[in-house]
Homo-oligomer: A and B are copies of this chain.
Amino acid sequence: LEEALIFEIGRPDTSGVDLPAPSAAKARLGSLARKAPLGLPGLSEPEAVRHYVRLSRRNYSIDAGLYPLGSCTMKHNPRLNEKMARLAGFSDVHPLQPTSTVPGALELIGEVGRWLTELTGMAAVAMSPKAGAHGELAGMMAIKAALKARGLDKPVVLVPESAHGTNPATAAAIGFEVRAVPARADGTVGAADVRAAIDERVGAIMLTNPNTCGIFEPEVAEIAAAIHEAGGYFYCDGANFNAIVGKVRPGDFGVDAMHINLHKTFSTPHGGGGPGAGPVVLSERLAAFAPLPFVRVTDGEAVLVENPEDTADGETPYGRLTAFHGQMGMFTRAYAYMLSHGADGLRQASEDAVLSANYLRACLSDVMTLPFPDHPSMHEVLFDDRFLDGTGVTTLDFAKAMIDEGYHPMTMYFPLVVHGAMLIEPTESESKAALDLFAATLRDLVFAATGGDSERFTGAPRFAPRRRLDETRAARSPKLRWDKPAAAE
């Protein structure tokens, strides 16, 4: 069944909201009262509910099935967290109410910050970044501010080839020059390569650990030492923090700044692409540069520091990142998740995520190809497409065939350092039975591909709301909005 667009079924004079009739009072809009219609369709409530329910049924979701998107961490989203976020004491308070009327909200921000610094072994945290990439920006800004405060002209940032694209984009956005560090054949970054790339112009390194190949960087401590010796800072991309929570602290291997994707590690819902939250933890060396606003906890009392005028000695914030205090709605969800798990449950979650990834690796490595067999996987296992050589089936075809088996595909073609990468992250939320069924299904697909049934792949998906969509056409002649069709007379 097709579902039309709201513009095709809505009417400008229909409303699904009943409002009292305004009085005839005089407006005070000067010359700016609106003159023309906007073109916004309305639906009655029954129509609107049906429209969105029907649309939702064309989505895959964690709640409906395993969602093994490597590096995206599609773990279970507890409903308790949604309930807690909707407590009126959190959801119905204004960011600019007098702070005397929101002590509980400030205390919660302080508490989430305390958990994050304790779990990472860091000195401070900036809570306001709105998502992972925003946290990266915040962290790199702190590094830039620190370099400036120390009077250093070190405009170069080292970024490994295997890094997520946001790393170079972030560094470039605030004027750093990006210098690539090659990846080694075993999927890791070598301390020697880093040392070789460091010169006096290098102010920082951005490294993801566990890295995008799903491997814990074995030389991360040496790399940290190298950049520190050179007077620079170590930015760690925390996208994969969920593999090591409670097992090892980034502060212990020399990290100076790391953003934390609350939606990945602490299970705030992905919501079809956001909202996220990206608090960034900072080492002692960077703590003074945390941006405004921040919550300072002294003797158990949480104080909101919003303006340079409010700062204490030693606090030298480099500015403001966003209008208000951060993604409070995500903090409440993450805090419910933290309290529910506790120190024990968080460690168990990391261990189970790693265990599940390695279990899938064990179940599949005889039929799929591992580019980096020398290291155990962390929470995700990376395969490449060598096992498809000669089959006429591409990584993309393979992924689309998984859809027909009822699964969301894994992450494909990332990281770029591997040809035809397939990155599988089962998370800790899957039962052994679910993992076994998934592995068996993948094995069947591999045998089908190597057995010559390429049509099953190139024609996929067949059992989805849509067959293969033409992405080239979408990009070549972009149609980015609905326009009223020319009248068909």
Decide if A249 is an interface residue (CB 8 Å cutoff). no
Interchain CB contact (< 8 A) of A76 among B9, B45, B61: B45
A63: B residues at CB distance < 8 A:
49-50, 53
Bits for A1-26, please: 1 = Cβ < 8 Å to B, else 0.
10000000100000000100000000
Bits for A39-67, please: 1 = Cβ < 8 Å to B, else 0.
00000111101100110010001111100
A118 to chain B minimum Cβ distance, whole angstroms, is 22
A78: B residues at CB distance < 8 A:
45
A242 to chain B minimum Cβ distance, whole angstroms, is 15
A57: B residues at CB distance < 8 A:
57, 64
A115 to chain B minimum Cβ distance, whole angstroms, is 18
- Report whether B50 and A65 are in contact in the complex, using a CB–CB cutoff of 8 Å: yes
Interchain CB contact (< 8 A) of A49 among B53, B79, B434: B79
Nearest residue (CB) in B for A52 is B63
A1: B residues at CB distance < 8 A:
65, 406
Interchain CB contact (< 8 A) of A46 among B18, B45, B53, B76: B76
**Interface members, chain A 404-441 (any B CB < 8 Å):** 406, 429-431, 433-434
| Given known contacts A54-B64, A63-B53, A64-B54, A46 and B406 CB-to-CB distance under 8 angstroms | no
- Bound Cα distance A433, B4 (Å): 12
Decide if A365 is an interface residue (CB 8 Å cutoff). no
- Report whether B64 and A18 are in contact in the complex, using a CB–CB cutoff of 8 Å: no
A379 to chain B minimum Cβ distance, whole angstroms, is 16
Decide if A307 is an interface residue (CB 8 Å cutoff). no
- Bound Cα distance A434, B9 (Å): 10
Decide if A91 is an interface residue (CB 8 Å cutoff). no
Decide if A166 is an interface residue (CB 8 Å cutoff). no
Instruction: Output the residue of A45, A61, A406 with the most chain B CB within 10 A.
Output: A45
Decide if A99 is an interface residue (CB 8 Å cutoff). no
- Bound Cα distance A422, B53 (Å): 28
Decide if A391 is an interface residue (CB 8 Å cutoff). no
What residues make up the interface of A, taking CB atoms closer than 8 Å to B? 1, 9, 18, 44-47, 49-50, 53-54, 57, 61-65, 76, 78-79, 340, 406, 429-431, 433-434
Q: Can you list 24 A-B contacts with CB-CB less than 8 angstroms, sorted by A residue number?
A: A1-B65, A1-B406, A9-B433, A18-B340, A44-B431, A45-B76, A45-B78, A46-B76, A46-B430, A46-B431, A47-B431, A47-B434, A49-B63, A49-B76, A49-B79, A50-B62, A50-B63, A50-B64, A53-B61, A53-B63, A53-B64, A54-B64, A54-B65, A57-B64
Known: A1-B406, A44-B431. 20 other contacts (CB 8 A): A1-B65, A9-B431, A9-B433, A18-B340, A45-B76, A46-B76, A46-B429, A46-B430, A46-B431, A47-B431, A47-B434, A49-B63, A49-B76, A49-B79, A50-B62, A50-B63, A50-B64, A53-B63, A53-B64, A54-B64
